[in-house]
């Protein structure tokens, strides 16, 4: 993974984008005198189809009392009034 400064990134934007696209290279963009890493440029990949709803149907059991209030938990979140 290559790291470039913001100035180099701005000056070589086209060639950096080409490298990311053709080689699948990931680029870290660093900023300032301390070269603080602020962003990562990664290749775009199309999603592999649409998400399927209900794919865990039957595999997960939600208790009947899932939505019921619990005084102990409410006290932790909202305090003792």
Tell me the β-bridge partners of 28: 3, 40
Q: What pLDDT was estimated at residue 81?
A: 59
Locate 51 and state its tokens: 């998400």
Task: Note if the pTM is more than 0.75.
Answer: no
Q: What pLDDT was estimated at residue 29?
A: 96
**Placement of tokens 């070589």 in the chain:** 12
pLDDT tens-digit profile of 25-75? Answer: 999 999 988 999 999 999 998 877 777 788 888 898 888 988 898 888 889
pLDDT tens-digit profile of 5-14? Answer: 999 999 999 9
Element (H, E) at 43: none
Enumerate the domain spans of the chain. 2-41
The listed CATH number (2.60.120, 3.40.1620, 3.40.50, 3.40.1440) that belongs to domain 2-41: 3.40.1620
CA dihedral 55, 58, 61, 64 (to 10 degrees): 110
d(CA 24, CA 17): 10
Answer whether residue 23 shows pLDDT above 80. yes
d(CA 18, CA 20): 5
């Amino acid at each position: 993974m290559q790291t470039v400064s913001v100035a180099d990134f701005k000056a070589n934007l086209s060639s950096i984008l080409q490298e990311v696209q053709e080689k699948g290279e990931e680029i870290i963009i660093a900023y300032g005198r301390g070269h603080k890493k602020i962003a990562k440029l990664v290749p775009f990949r199309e999603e592999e189809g649409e998400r399927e709803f209900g794919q865990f149907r039957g595999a997960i059991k939600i208790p009947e009392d899932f939505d019921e209030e619990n005084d102990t938990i409410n006290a932790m979140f909202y305090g003792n009034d």
